[in-house]
Amino acid sequence: MAAFAGYLLGSIPTGFLVAQGRGIDIRALGSGNIGATNVFRYLGLPAGILVLLADAAKGWLAVAVLARLVSGWFFTAAGPEPREWLALCAGLAAILGHIYTCWLYFKGGKGIATSAGVLVALVPYALLIVLGVWLVVFALSRYVSLASLAAAFAAPFAAWFTTRNSTLTAALAALAALAIYKHRTNIKRLLSGTENRIGAKKPPLPVAPPNS
């Protein structure tokens, strides 16, 4: 139940919905991704921040609210271990829901913001390390994708360093591998020098043809 509820929460396609509110299908623009970066690139900073926070909130709510509700219903007399498993399952399911949303034919975002929300709830100190890696790489390169790749790679190491929890570290290592896989097109563009850099000229929105 925790995993199912987490998946449904994570599957809410916030970037797609925000863009649709402006009459735009974000999947037809830029990278085709529904995440905050593509929304920011075409709809501006406020829309990008809104999507970033909403996507992160999905991960946090799955762990901090949904998992606690389920544990309260079914594990009231149990120790902390079942609750930790429920929190981890709900968080992982929320990330998978964001990446493979059932509302858009199982094609969603890349899960970075939602993963950050899960880390806030599960391992906030590890998140500080991961966020620091993201900020340093982004400041040096101005590539969101490169910063996200570096943060994903650092996440399991940060989790182990701050918790010494092998289960959590293994789960984050699997998520890091998935995040890197989801960035495979970005990796190809980075290697070819065609990846979009923040601060570059904003690409124009497509102009709809006039009604006949």
Per-residue pLDDT tens, the chain, 212 aa: give them.
Answer: 889 999 999 999 999 999 999 999 999 998 899 999 999 999 999 999 999 999 999 999 999 998 888 776 665 545 556 778 889 999 999 999 999 999 999 999 999 999 999 999 999 999 999 999 999 999 999 999 999 999 999 999 999 999 999 999 999 999 999 999 999 999 999 999 999 888 766 556 555 444 43
155, 180 contact by CB (below 8 A)? no
Q: Which is it for the CA torsion 139, 161, 59, 25, positive or negative?
A: positive
Nearest to 96 by CA among 5, 10, 1: 10
7, 114 contact by CB (below 8 A)? no
pLDDT at 185: 94
User: 0.85 exceeded by the pTM?
Assistant: yes
Nearest to 110 by CA among 94, 97, 99, 119: 99
Q: On the CB side of 132, how many CA atoms lie within 13 Å of its CA? A: 7
Please state at what angle helix 45-61 crosses helix 112-122, rounded to 10 degrees.
50
Quickly list H helices, 62-211.
Answer: 67-74, 80-99, 112-122, 124-141, 144-163, 166-182, 184-192
100, 93 contact by CB (below 8 A)? no
pLDDT at 210: 47
What is the rounded (10 degree) CA torsion for 24, 27, 62, 58? -40
Nearest to 118 by CA among 34, 9, 1: 9
